[in-house]
Every structure is written in structure tokens, then in C-alpha cells.
Amino acid sequence: MLSMTGIRKEFPGVVALDDVAFRMFPGEVHALMGENGAGKSTLIKVLTGAYHVDAGNISLNGSAVRFAGPLQAQQAGISTVYQEVNLCPNLSVAENIFIGREPRRLGRIHWTAMKNRSAELLRRLDLDIDPGRELGSCSIAVQQLVAIARAVDVSARVLVLDEPTSSLDADEVATLFGVVRTLRDQGMAILFVSHFIEQVFAISDRMTVLRNGKLVGEYRASEITPVDLVRAMIGRELATLDELEPPRRRSGAGQAPVFAATVDLGRKGNIEPFTLDIREGEVVGLAGLLGSGRTELVRLLFGADRADQGSLRLGESTVHLRSPRAAIARGVAFCPENRKADGLVEDLTVRENIVLALQARRGWARPLPRRRQEELARSFIDRLRIRPADPEALVGNLSGGNQQKVLLARWLLTEPRLLILDEPTRGIDIGAKAEIQKLIAELAEDGMAVLFVSAELEEVLRVSHQVAVLRDRAVVDRMPNEGLTPDMVLHTIAKGEAA
């Protein structure tokens, strides 16, 4: 139904796609796989006309097409969720879903109908939020779901989903897959990108693997094993997938001194007062459902939002954080979930983004020597495998996963005493993810306190010594990670009290 052949796309200095072929069939889910920077998103943008293609052919239903822009692609029945949430933060949720095809009456936009219909659509995705709410104030996960809601509503023939699940938890993923399967059964062709191997195998019928902008191969899901798939992606031999994954943590840290402790810290309208302590050398994972307040909790600890009640002790002194700067000065680092809005400065280079926090702490008068900056940048480029491995590349030009690595590098570099990571592995490929998990373990071993947030419960359980559970913006439980299984945690979440 849709086929692309001989696709080539060059950016200044980088060949992002080189002679790539890709095809889709109605009633099938086709997964596009590859490491960070392999060219998946670029292929999608080439398909929808968001990028001009340098060479190659695209045909839809047998006739050659070349879209001048996403508008045309949409009109031709291709509906897309791009990787970075590409919505308008200043508009309401409902508008983001319907803009461009608002329900109208007598030629004017019918606002009530729009609100009602979007509420309905959101319910279909199990999302209960006010359609009138400004999108920018919603968490990344919600934004991702809104983008999906926007895409699935069109009477499209092709649905393209670029990492739609990167910040969704298991429940939402299940809901999404339900929707996707229905659409597939109605004969829609679906392109799906994800770094979660299990998800890919759970949903897709066919897979295409890219590596370094080149086509590796196309496989039927039933004819390939996860190990082979990963091997195709990373291009090296693997015995088992476990080779990539570090062993699971057990509760440790024992009786090391407490580094951070809150007593009834809270903020009206954001998060209920909570009491939590984190020891040096201990990784505390935060588990909870979408909107349970994990992000809000960690923002309070970092002073990104100001607490209006309770107290916080960092190290030896009780502090009242008025700004992130105050937190940083006391050895706290915070890697935010929304890398685009809160994290990276896209106009600056990889090097500059990496040293930014360190430089901010030193103040403007004591610049890091250029040579030192390069050393630091290079060491993280190597460790986290940032591609392209060029410290002078502009961060805005990097692929999503690589951007995330840069952000992470910035905070690892500051060598904090408490490292807060909000969805640090969002959009990162399995190889690098394992690397990061290993790194966290090492850091903790060296005495760093870590607060770890992830929508992927597995991951939380793998890296943390302790798991704190949130529900309805309150901390409901905290348990040592001994023999914990995802089900046990989910049970706690569901019940809203200690298991």
C-alpha cells in the first residue's frame, strides 16, 4: 500500500538516510527499529513531507507521491504522531486535538462540540483530563496521549507513531495497543517506533531495522527472535538480551547517613505533604501512574517549584529552597522529563549543553577552559555513545535519544550528592539504557543519593534500592526493593495504601 525506495536524506555533514527502502501493508503494524540516531524519525519526516527528500521514491496505493508538507500528507490519509511532542503548548487540549479540522457550525468553530468530542476521544484513551486545559501545563505523558488522540481521530489510512510510548506506563500502553489493534483490524496500516523490545513484539507484524542511516533488513515478527533483532540493530553479536541488562539491584545502602529528608513538604494544588528520606549511596525509585505527581514531587525537592509547607533537610542543614540554584549549591541535580522545554538549549552545541550546569555553578567569571570543556564533553560522548560524536554539533540537530543523553551528561557531570532523574531514559535505545542503568549503580556505589523516576516500572525495580509509591499526588507507601515484583507495586498503587 505504501512503499519507499532508494530514500536518501542528507543534512549538512551527516547522511541521515542512505538508500533506505520501507513498505507498509494495510491491516499490519510495521515496527521501525534502530538505535538512537539510526534515522527512524528522519524517515518518517521524509515520508510526511516534513523534510524534502534528496533522492528516492515514495508511492502510495501504487501512485508516486511526494508531499510538500505534512498538510498534504494528512490530506492523503497519513496521520502522524512525531517523536517530540509537536503540539502547541499555548492552546487547550481540545484545540490541539482538533485544530485544522475543528467542528464547525454556520462556518464558525463550534466550541462546545469540540470540547465534547475531545473529551470522548480522551476517554477512549483512558485519559480523564479537562479538554479546556492549556496543554503546556500538562505532563509530557499527557501531551503524548493528546498527540495520539489527535492522530487516531482522523479517518486515516496510514497511522505513523514515532515513539508514542516513551513516557507512558504499562496501563496506557495497553490502552494504546488496544486502540491500535482495533485500527489495524479496520485495515489501517500502522508504523510504530519504540525502543521497548517487548512492546514491539507484542504489537507488530513486521519489522524494519535501520542502522546508521542504512537499511539492515525487513523481518516478519514471527520469524525473528528478540536477540536477533537487537543484534541487527546494534550490529554486534549477542548471546542473550541479558547481556545488555545489568543485574537487578537489591536493597543496599544499609545505614549510610541520610542525605535528603522531607517532613510534610508540600505545595497546594500540586502535591500533598509528603515525608521521604534518601540515604547516601541509595537509589530511591518513584512509582506511580500517570499524573500521580512524581514530577511535581521532584520539582519541589529541586526548588523548581517553591514548597509552601513542611521542611526539607539537605545534608546537615534545613533549607528553604527558593530556586534551583539554591538546590544546586547544596549538591542537588535534576534532570527534567521535558528535555525540549526544560532541559536543552537547542541553539548551543553538545559541548556547551553538557558543561552548562557546571559552568553555571562556577559563575560567569570562572570559565572552564575550552580544553577542559572538550575533554569532559568527549568523555560523556564516549560513555553514553552520543551520536554524532561531535562536541560542536548543535543539540537541536541531534536525534531525540541523543538529546536525552546530552541532558543526562550535563547533570552527571556536576557530580551531585543527590541526583534526581525524571524519566532519564525516555527515548533511549536499549544499549545506552543499560549503560545508563549501570552508571547509576556505580554512582550510588560511590555514595551518591539518587531519586529515580520512570514510567517503566521494570526499570524502576531494576535500579532502585527502595521504591516509593505515589497515588493522587501523595506518597502512599515506601518499600525496600526486596523480592518486589511489578505486580506487587501495581497492587499498592491500585489500592492506594501499603500492601
Ligand X SMILES: Nc1ncnc2c1ncn2[C@@H]1O[C@H](COP(=O)(O)OP(=O)(O)OP(=O)(O)O)[C@@H](O)[C@H]1O
Residue 454 touching Mg ion (CB under 5 A): no
| 24: nearest Cα among 54, 52, 70, 61 | 61
Stretch that binds ligand X, among 35-43, 184-192, 354-362, 480-488 (CB under 6 A): 35-43
71-109 exposure pattern, b = at least 16 Cβ within 10 A, e = fewer: eebbebbbbbbbbbbebeeeebbbbbbbeeebeeeeeee
Spell out the residues 6+ positions from residue 17 whose beta carbon is closer than 8 angstroms to its own.
Answer: 7, 8, 9, 39, 42, 43, 46, 210, 213
Please, are residues 443 and 411 in contact by the beta-carbon 8 Å criterion?
no
Q: Which of the 8 DSSP states describes residue 155?
A: -
Specify the amino acid at residue 29.
Answer: V
- In the region spanning residues 167 to 196, those forming contacts with ligand X, defined by CB under 6 A, are 167
Report the nearest approach of ligand X to the CB of residue 56 (Å): 15
Rounded Cα distance between 412 and 431, Å, is 18
Residue 397 touching ligand X (CB under 6 A): yes
Residue 391 touching ligand X (CB under 6 A): no
Residue 220 touching another protein (CB under 8 A): no
Rounded Cα distance between 54 and 368, Å, is 41
Residue 41 touching Mg ion (CB under 5 A): yes
Residue 356 binding partner per list Mg ion, another protein, ligand X, none, with a CB distance cut-off of 5 to 8 Å that depends on partner kind: another protein
Q: Across the chain, which distance is largest between two alpha carbons, in Å?
A: 70
- In the region spanning residues 51 to 110, those forming contacts with another protein, defined by CB under 8 A, are 51-52, 68-71, 73-75, 80, 82, 86-91, 95, 99-100, 102, 107-109
| CA 356 to chain CA centroid, nearest Å | 22
Q: Using the rule CB under 8 A, which residue among 170, 263, 348, 490 binds another protein?
A: 348
Report the nearest approach of another protein to the CB of residue 53 (Å): 11
Stretch that binds Mg ion, among 15-23, 51-59, 238-246, 397-405 (CB under 5 A): 397-405
Q: Using the rule CB under 8 A, which residue among 2, 304, 384, 475 binds another protein?
A: 304
| 144: nearest Cα among 97, 183, 99 | 97
Q: Is 41 helix (H, G, I), strand (E, B) or coil?
A: helix
Residue 246 binding partner per list another protein, ligand X, Mg ion, none, with a CB distance cut-off of 5 to 8 Å that depends on partner kind: none
* DSSP-assigned beta bridge partners for residue 318: 313
Residue 129 binding partner per list another protein, ligand X, Mg ion, none, with a CB distance cut-off of 5 to 8 Å that depends on partner kind: ligand X
Q: Using the rule CB under 6 A, which residue among 164, 266, 281, 288 binds ligand X?
A: 288
Q: Using the rule CB under 6 A, which residue among 2, 22, 31, 40 binds ligand X?
A: 40
Please, are residues 495 and 488 in contact by the beta-carbon 8 Å criterion?
no
Residue 247 touching another protein (CB under 8 A): no
Provide the mask over 116-135, with x wherever binding to another protein is found by CB under 8 A and - wherever it is not.
------------------x-
Q: Residue 389, Cβ neighbours under 10 Å: how many?
A: 13
- In the region spanning residues 184 to 213, those forming contacts with another protein, defined by CB under 8 A, are none
- In the region spanning residues 419 to 478, those forming contacts with another protein, defined by CB under 8 A, are none
Q: With respect to Mg ion, which residue has the nearer C-beta, 281 or 400?
A: 400
DSSP secondary structure string, 200-233? HHHH-SEEEEEETTEEEEEEEGGG--HHHHHHHH
Can you read off the three cell numbers belonging to residue 11?
Answer: 543534512
Can you read off the three cell numbers belonging to residue 471?
Answer: 497515588
- In the region spanning residues 367 to 406, those forming contacts with another protein, defined by CB under 8 A, are 367-368, 394, 396-397
Report the nearest approach of another protein to the CB of residue 459 (Å): 23
Can you read off the three cell numbers belonging to residue 155?
Answer: 479517518
Q: Which H or E run contains 382?
A: helix 370-384
Residue 211 binding partner per list Mg ion, ligand X, another protein, none, with a CB distance cut-off of 5 to 8 Å that depends on partner kind: none
Q: How many residues bind ligand X (CB under 6 A)?
A: 39
Q: Is 55 helix (H, G, I), strand (E, B) or coil?
A: strand
Q: Using the rule CB under 6 A, which residue among 30, 211, 294, 330 binds ligand X?
A: 294
Residue 328 binding partner per list ligand X, Mg ion, another protein, none, with a CB distance cut-off of 5 to 8 Å that depends on partner kind: another protein
Strands 78-81, 258-267: pairing kind: unpaired
Residue 336 touching ligand X (CB under 6 A): no
Please, are residues 95 and 134 in contact by the beta-carbon 8 Å criterion?
no
- In the region spanning residues 128 to 147, those forming contacts with Mg ion, defined by CB under 5 A, are 139
Q: Using the rule CB under 6 A, which residue among 295, 349, 437, 454 binds ligand X?
A: 295
Using the structure block, give the residue that is written with the C-alpha cell 504499562.
Answer: 170
List the 189-193 sheet strands across, edge first. Answer: 63-65, 55-60, 2-11, 14-24, 214-220, 206-211, 29-33, 189-193, 158-162, 78-81
Residue 129 touching ligand X (CB under 6 A): yes
Residues in the site for ligand X, rule: CB under 6 A? Answer: 11, 14, 16, 34, 36-42, 83, 128-129, 138-142, 167, 288, 290-296, 337, 387-388, 397-402, 427, 455
Residues in the site for Mg ion, rule: CB under 5 A? Answer: 40-41, 83, 139, 295, 337, 399-400
